[in-house]
Structure 1
């Protein structure tokens, strides 16, 4: 599927939608679900979009299937029906989805492509994960695969495929090999991005439709930015 936006109403980029699911392109700064900040979450924005588009009375059902970190951009999938939600949850839990991310890093990775295996331990106090080479107390195994897609003037574009889904996994594992993501102050990049984003984008999601059983592939357009533009 090409980089197609079905709707761009109220800054909500809808990439795919049918009776059971809706896929949107999350902006940097949006939170997927409500948290202690009290900021309006993306889930509420999507509910409003559905309510307005279909003139739905009363409350709109929307199931959150997965999340992205607040400064990250890209694909987020929601369920529009209670029938689809448990099936989607099962797909994600059983790792029957393919998630591809793009990231911009300043430093060249040690290899053109590699598999990174670490044990990550989350610290809830500072909302940060630490990577260890060997298993340690309260750690979880994290596996990702990366390859260098393109060398830009000052950055390297990496494509990442996740085998596990740990807290801040891509951010933490790339930082552990000396390649913090552009703008990611928390994991060692020296300067923030002007919009407080980090240059990590959930680029593609492939999965089987929970009801129709068809293969679905969605690609999220990149943020409007001169460095991201150079990646295409």
Structure 2
């Protein structure tokens, strides 16, 4: 049993229009009633903090996969939700992730391009090719942050938003995200979990950079990685 739903809500930024939090893994961003999720927790936080007797509006302009931690932005009114969603839709939000991946990544930086398609009736992505029905180009920039003997800490900046993009593009180069058994990782990661849905992977939404929906100022919001990221119990620095 994973206790992510019991952790205190980590608010990174808050004003009358936005509330940005650090999502713990493997908590869902959204879920049906009765299933623990981040949206429900943020809604309860606002209702309690501001003593709102009626319902609380909360817009969800983007999401993170269940086993992924990091920055998630919520909107507190419809106009803010529309404006922030538009930024995500037009790719003007800069998203930066940190990942611990298996193996030693070379070179120090670069760009990965692949065609990705969603596997029908399954919650996973597969390699596609140009012109194939359902296949879409996925592009991301990567930068090595730190190398160890058997794993690498890398920074990833997706330029497109495809299903499981960061996870599959790393895995296809022989560097699956640690803990991501769906895409070939053979190493466990994070707190022990009996159920597959409660397992976490070493992928973290580190930073969001976007324009405030009303002040138009640039917001740069960072989330610290979970405590279980370090030390990683394996190998000396390469």
TM over 0.5: yes
Q: Distance in 2 between matches of 1:130 and 1:24?
A: 31
Q: 2:177 aligns with which of 178, 181, 189?
A: 181
**Is the 2:104–2:149 contact (alpha carbons within 8 Å) kept by the matching residues of 1?**
no
Q: Distance in 2 between matches of 1:200 and 1:10?
A: 19
User: Is 1:224 paired with 2:221?
Assistant: no
Q: Distance in 1 between matches of 2:79 and 2:92?
A: 18
Return the offset for 1:35: 4.8
Tell me the TM-score normalised to structure 2 length: 0.88
In structure 2, what is the equivalent of residue 125 of structure 1?
121
In structure 1, what is the equivalent of residue 99 of structure 2?
103
Q: Distance in 2 between matches of 1:29 and 1:81?
A: 27
User: Is 1:198 paired with 2:195?
Assistant: no
Q: Distance in 1 between matches of 2:114 and 2:93?
A: 21
- TM-aligned CA distance change 1:228 to 1:77, over 3 Å: farther
Q: Distance in 2 between matches of 1:200 and 1:35?
A: 25
Which stretch of structure 1 is more off in the superposition, 67-76 or 153-162?
153-162
5+ residue gaps, structure 2: 1-5, 192-198
**Is the 2:115–2:128 contact (alpha carbons within 8 Å) kept by the matching residues of 1?**
yes
Aligned residues: 222
Return the offset for 1:125: 2.5
Q: Distance in 2 between matches of 1:175 and 1:119?
A: 14
Question: Secondary structure of 1:68's match?
Answer: coil
Q: Distance in 2 between matches of 1:135 and 1:108?
A: 32
Return the offset for 1:120: 0.5
Return the offset for 1:132: 3.2
Question: Secondary structure of 1:49's match?
Answer: helix
- TM-aligned CA distance change 1:134 to 1:92, over 3 Å: same
Question: Secondary structure of 1:165's match?
Answer: coil
* CA-atom RMSD in angstroms: 2.1
For residues 138-193 of structure 1, the C-alpha deviation after alignment (integer angstroms, 9 at most, x for no partner) is: 11111000011111353210000010011100001111111100000000001332
**Is the 2:29–2:37 contact (alpha carbons within 8 Å) kept by the matching residues of 1?**
yes
Tell me the TM-score normalised to structure 1 length: 0.90
Q: Show structure 1 runs of 4+ deviating over 6 A.
A: 228-231
**Is the 1:129–1:167 contact (alpha carbons within 8 Å) kept by the matching residues of 2?**
yes
Q: Distance in 2 between matches of 1:35 and 1:137?
A: 31
In structure 2, what is the equivalent of residue 55 of structure 1?
51
Which stretch of structure 1 is more off in the superposition, 130-139 or 168-177?
130-139
- TM-aligned CA distance change 1:35 to 1:178, over 3 Å: farther
For residues 109-139 of structure 1, the C-alpha deviation after alignment (integer angstroms, 9 at most, x for no partner) is: 2422111111111014331101235442211
Q: 2:24 aligns with which of 22, 27, 34?
A: 27
**Is the 1:135–1:141 contact (alpha carbons within 8 Å) kept by the matching residues of 2?**
no
Return the offset for 1:39: 1.7
User: Is 1:44 paired with 2:40?
Assistant: yes
